[in-house]
Amino acid sequence: MLTTLAVLMGLSGLVPIAQAGGSEVDVTLVLAVDTSRSMDFEEIGIQREGYVEALKHREFIDAVKGGLTGRIAISYFEWAGYVVQDSVIDWQVIETEEDAIAFADKLEARPIATQRRTSISTAIAQGASMIVSSPFQSRRQVIDVSGDGPNNSGNPVTPARDKAVEAGMIINGLAIMLRPSDAPNGLDKYYADCVIGGPGAFVLPVRKIEDFAVAVRRKLVLEISGISPPATMQKTAGAETGADCLIGEKQWRDIFDR
């Protein structure tokens, strides 16, 4: 199954997995965090603090403990036009508050840096690769993508999304909308139409810096608990795509055609 799925995803060089006792968890969750240069160091720092705070929060711990097994597996990486390889935090089982704090401490210790371009398709492929290579069995497999702009590098985003969804994964989005977006109808609309997918998939917009930590915590709790998000956050099954899913590529090409 692993070989077949790796071929399906068009992936190579699977990320090494951590050894953990017991393979059954409620959720395998990959946090794929945008560190492209369209965000400044302050914004990336606030984003980092939001994830650290959310992972240590009581609501997150309670959501983990409320599952059937009371444990999840979580991993993390940063991306822009490519995956930042030294940013990968390998799989860790979260079962206790101490587990969550240990994972958050690893994240907090990461140096803050930015990279060029935005390849959501690469982020999805990396997340899928990490899920495929994980040693865990779970009822839900979730790729959690945060970003502040449309795909403008690498492969188109929708085929990567569709392949992950076909493999049984869920892709949720955190649309960072602190500044005007390159997506004409709003980045949340672009994420809803072009990025997220799978049963109960949702996108959560963040429009103010001070709302970031609460938004991250809310998103993690929804993903772990499996609670259906409000209809306004969900992708409507069978709905026509309104966003241009190649808008980022077109805008980037226009820059060089001038």
Q: Lowest-confidence range among 45-49, 86-90, 236-240? A: 236-240
Query: Residue written as tokens 């958050």?
Result: 104
What is the percent of the chain with per-residue pLDDT over 90, rounded to a whole number?
Answer: 67
> At 77, is the pLDDT very low, low, confident or very high (cuts 50, 70, 90)?
very high
pLDDT at 235 over 90: no
**Euclidean distance between CA atoms 130 and 90, whole angstroms:** 9
- What value does the CA radius of gyration of the chain take, rounded to a whole number of Å? 17
Predicted local confidence at residue 10, as pLDDT: 45
- 164-184 pLDDT, tens digit per residue, is 999 999 999 999 998 877 788
Predicted local confidence at residue 230, as pLDDT: 67
Predicted local confidence at residue 234, as pLDDT: 59
**Euclidean distance between CA atoms 177 and 221, whole angstroms:** 21
- Reference 77, options 127, 118, 40, 115; nearest CA is 127
Predicted local confidence at residue 232, as pLDDT: 55
pLDDT at 4 over 50: no
Say if CB 89 and CB 107 are below 8 A apart: yes
Contacts of 109 (CB under 8 A, 6+ apart): none
Contacts of 3 (CB under 8 A, 6+ apart): none
Predicted local confidence at residue 174, as pLDDT: 95
Predicted local confidence at residue 256, as pLDDT: 54
Query: Residue written as tokens 């994830």?
Result: 51
Predicted local confidence at residue 255, as pLDDT: 61
Predicted local confidence at residue 251, as pLDDT: 81
pLDDT at 219 over 70: yes
| Chain mean pLDDT for the chain | 86
pLDDT mean over 78-104: 96
